[in-house]
């Protein structure tokens, strides 16, 4: 590691160099005291873990300390949550702690688009990079297939119901479901940023080509099947949840589920291996569990409950990652994931960068794919001080859960001592710890101060509490999130959304479900252009989805798409394979 310089090497070059000396998956399993038959190897350096067998064997072992990693409102480039998660895991390892990490599997959308692979960066990464970035063990493919099988079941049944009378359907052993072609709640899934597929027409052709109607695609990681993978606690739990997925409605407005279509068993069959978390490692050889997917702005965006359950049994410290800022990722970790898992965190780390604080303080617009303005690389304490307002908002959010946050100043070599001093002074005045961490540049050695601060925070007493009661009306839950988390003055509903909320609140079963907001990650508000800590605004809810299987209602705030778009200069232009060695190059 000493000869790897992130200021002179690209992330994929660092990963490739480190992979020459990485541990085999068998060594990782042996260090974790995992039995031979509990490891399901996929080659020499990646494997899955038989979660059920391991958890049953270790059910009497005490859990380790539970640490969550979140961030401030990021720039479009991201502020290094995965990098910090890996750095913290490595830092705890440097202090001699038995540690495990859990991160989300990268989506093909950002990997081949703007943001890159989400493997971390510099000397704080998860490896092997190519395997992580290019499909891993097939979990996302399984989700895509499971999701799309539900749509195949629905559209084929609709065609048969349209073409045949009840007598013919009875001979085919089919019950008429009276599917409403305009009542679809699902579309199709693909794991790319494909804006051309947001709105499509299907069934074009003749009688045997399906029922012609409008449809569309969402990115796979926003699928309810992905959400179910994240929150399931067992294969039986997953099977029950998949059966409850609402695929469409009948002509009277009654939900039609995957169970009604008799496709739930087959959908679960696609997922029966995906439920086992993937075992990988940090650049410094600590075990990392990779499971479930990203995009907390349009999905739950959490590493899985099962991965966390395993990590807490296998390590004395377990570090798990949530998507985007505390307003989105941490809020869903706090009020959804922890409620489902019944696990209580000991500490939350809020990742901040000088770059992002300058943007929130009024710095120039950050445009993906274009060089940063000199304002972000030259010293400017005034911009930093103004931008700290955003960081203080995220500190307040975490404090409302009863947890004491630790602020990680994810250090870049262009940051100055004066800029860092401004952040530390204001954070400490707000009653929180602020620690500079140089894991990007120095790996675990550069994160030992952060690791020690987290260890200290884990020993403190805290009183964890949810933001809202499970039985609270939906609009009460939304209002609490809008006011207490986002800082809004209130909530307004478009007529369609208000009607949906009223129907949900009148249904005792739906009323108990959690609230999984869809909102931009680029602002505390619904408007990505409003930086800092916006004041004097109202949160608009334009639609509401019901994820009955996952166990939550999904209000959609502002103008946000569940299918992102690909930019004009996507990452795939720079990804290739060395035909002599077979190694992938250009991932970042």
pLDDT over 90 at 206, yes or no: no
pLDDT for residue 381? 96
More confident residue, 526 or 206: 526
Can you tell me the mean pLDDT for 191-214? 91
Which of the following is catalytic: 65, 115, 239, 475?
115
Structural contact between residues 438 and 447, judged by C-beta atoms closer than 8 angstroms = yes
Which of the following is catalytic: 48, 65, 81, 313?
81
pLDDT over 80 at 103, yes or no: yes
Structural contact between residues 81 and 176, judged by C-beta atoms closer than 8 angstroms = no
pLDDT for residue 71? 96
Residue 540 CA to residue 459 CA, distance in Å, equals: 41
pLDDT for residue 1? 63
* pLDDT tens, residue by residue, 61-97: 999 999 999 999 988 777 889 999 999 999 999 999 9
Residue 291 CA to residue 280 CA, distance in Å, equals: 11
Can you tell me the mean pLDDT for 471-499? 97
* pLDDT tens, residue by residue, 295-342: 888 889 999 999 999 999 999 999 999 988 999 999 999 999 999 999
* pLDDT tens, residue by residue, 410-462: 998 889 999 999 999 999 999 999 999 999 999 999 999 999 999 999 999 98
pLDDT for residue 372? 83
Give yes or no: 404 in active site: no
**Tokens read off for 478:** 């939304």
Give yes or no: 414 in active site: no
Residue 304 CA to residue 226 CA, distance in Å, equals: 10
Give yes or no: 83 in active site: yes
Give yes or no: 295 in active site: no
For every residue of 186-239, DSSP letters joined together read: --EEESS--GGGSSEEE--SSGGG---EEE-EEEGGGSHHHHHHHH-SSHHHHH
Structural contact between residues 284 and 99, judged by C-beta atoms closer than 8 angstroms = no
pLDDT for residue 115? 75
Averaged confidence pLDDT in the chain: 94
Which of the following is catalytic: 192, 217, 412, 552?
412
Instruction: Please tell me the number of Cα atoms within 13 Å of 298 on its side-chain side.
Output: 14
Give yes or no: 115 in active site: yes
Nearest Cα to 322, choosing from 14, 74, 499? 74
- Residues 6 or more apart in contact with residue 281 via CB below 8 angstroms: 22, 23, 28, 45, 126, 127, 287, 288
Which of the following is catalytic: 104, 438, 475, 477?
104
Residue 47 CA to residue 60 CA, distance in Å, equals: 25
Say if residue 339 is exposed, middle or buried (CB neighbours under 10 Å; 0-12, 13-18, 19+): middle
Which of the following is catalytic: 119, 150, 230, 296?
296
Residue 308 CA to residue 184 CA, distance in Å, equals: 34
Which of the following is catalytic: 12, 188, 324, 334?
324
Give, in order, the Cα–Cα distances in Å from 177 to each of 146, 148, 174.
21, 19, 9
User: CB atoms < 10 A from the CB of 580, how many?
Assistant: 6
The 8-class DSSP code of residue 444 comes to: G
Give yes or no: 535 in active site: no
pLDDT over 70 at 581, yes or no: yes
pLDDT over 80 at 493, yes or no: yes
**Tokens read off for 135:** 């499909």
* pLDDT tens, residue by residue, 251-279: 999 999 999 999 999 999 999 999 999 99
Q: How would you write 174-197 as a 3-class SS string? A: CCCCCECCCCCCCCEEECCCCHHH
Nearest Cα to 294, choosing from 188, 222, 190? 222
Structural contact between residues 331 and 73, judged by C-beta atoms closer than 8 angstroms = no
* pLDDT tens, residue by residue, 153-183: 999 999 988 888 888 888 888 889 999 998 8
Domains and CATH numbers, the chain: 11-24+49-128+277-458 (3.40.50.300), 139-271 (3.30.1510.10), 474-557 (3.10.410.10)
Collapsing DSSP to helix, strand or coil, 302 comes out as: strand
**Tokens read off for 172:** 């085919």
Q: What is the pTM of this model?
A: 0.94
pLDDT over 80 at 521, yes or no: yes
* pLDDT tens, residue by residue, 105-129: 998 888 888 777 788 999 999 999 9
pLDDT for residue 88? 98
């Amino acid at each position: 590691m000493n000869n790897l310089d992130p200021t002179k090497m690209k992330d994929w070059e660092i990963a490739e160099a480190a992979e020459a000396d990485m541990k085999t998956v068998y060594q990782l399993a042996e260090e974790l005291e995992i039995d031979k038959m509990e490891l399901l190897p996929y080659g020499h350096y990646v494997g899955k873990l038989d979660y059920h067998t391991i958890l049953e064997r270790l059910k009497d072992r005490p859990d380790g300390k539970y640490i969550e990693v979140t961030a401030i409102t990021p720039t479009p480039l991201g502020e290094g949550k995965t990098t910090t998660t890996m750095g913290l895991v490595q830092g705890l390892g440097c202090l001699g702690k038995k540690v495990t990490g859990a991160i989300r599997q990268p989506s093909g959308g950002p990997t081949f688009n703007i943001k890159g692979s989400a493997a971390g960066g510099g000397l704080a990464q998860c490896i092997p990079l190519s395997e992580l970035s290019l499909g891993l063990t097939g979990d996302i493919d399984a989700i895509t297939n499971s999701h799309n099988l539900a749509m195949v079941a629905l559209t084929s049944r609709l065609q048969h119901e349209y073409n045949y009378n009840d007598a013919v359907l009875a001979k085919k052993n089919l019950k008429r479901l009276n599917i409403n072609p305009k009542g679809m709640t699902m579309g199709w899934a693909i794991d790319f940023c494909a804006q051309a597929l947001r709105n499509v027409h299907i069934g074009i052709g003749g009688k045997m080509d399906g029922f012609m109607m409008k449809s569309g695609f969402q990115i796979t990681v926003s699928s309810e099947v992905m959400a179910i993978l994240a929150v399931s606690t067992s294969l039986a739990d997953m099977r029950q949840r998949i059966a409850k997925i609402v695929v469409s409605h009948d002509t009277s407005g009654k939900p039609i589920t995957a169970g009604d279509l008799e496709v739930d068993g087959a959908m679960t069959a696609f997922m029966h291996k995906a439920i086992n978390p993937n075992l990988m490692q940090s650049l410094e050889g600590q075990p990392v569990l990779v499971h479930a997917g990203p995009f907390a702005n349009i999905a739950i965006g959490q590493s899985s409950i099962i991965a966390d359950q395993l990590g807490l049994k296998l390590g004395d410290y377990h570090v798990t990652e949530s998507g985007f800022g505390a307003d989105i990722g941490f809020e869903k970790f706090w009020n959804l994931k922890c409620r489902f898992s019944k696990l209580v965190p000991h500490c939350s780390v809020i990742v901040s960068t000088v770059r992002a604080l300058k943007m929130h303080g009024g710095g120039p617009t950050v445009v993906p794919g274009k060089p940063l303005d000199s304002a972000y690389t030259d010293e400017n304490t005034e911009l930093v001080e103004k931008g700290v307002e955003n960081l203080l908002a995220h500190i307040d959010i975490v404090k409302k859960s009863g947890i004491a946050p630790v602020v990680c100043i994810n250090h870049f070599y262009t940051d100055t001592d004066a800029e860092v001093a401004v952040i530390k002074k204001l954070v400490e005045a707000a009653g929180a710890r602020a620690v500079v961490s140089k894991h990007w540049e120095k790996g675990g050695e550069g994160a030992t101060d952060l690791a020690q601060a987290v260890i200290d925070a884990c020993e403190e007493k805290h009183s964890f509490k949810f933001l809202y009661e499970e039985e609270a009306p939906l609009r009460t839950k939304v209002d609490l999130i809008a006011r207490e988390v986002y800082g809004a003055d209130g909530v307004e509903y478009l007529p369609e959304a208000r009607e949906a909320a009223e129907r949900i609140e009148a249904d005792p079963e739906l009323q108990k479900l959690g609230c999984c907001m869809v909102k931009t990650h680029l602002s505390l508000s619904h408007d990505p252009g409003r930086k800092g800590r916006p004041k004097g605004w109202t949160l608009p809810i334009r639609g509401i989805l019901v994820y009955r299987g996952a166990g939550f209602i999904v209000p959609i705030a502002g103008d946000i798409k569940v299918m992102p778009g690909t930019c004009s200069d996507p990452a795939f232009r720079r990804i290739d394979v060395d035909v002599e060695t077979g190694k992938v190059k250009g991932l970042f």
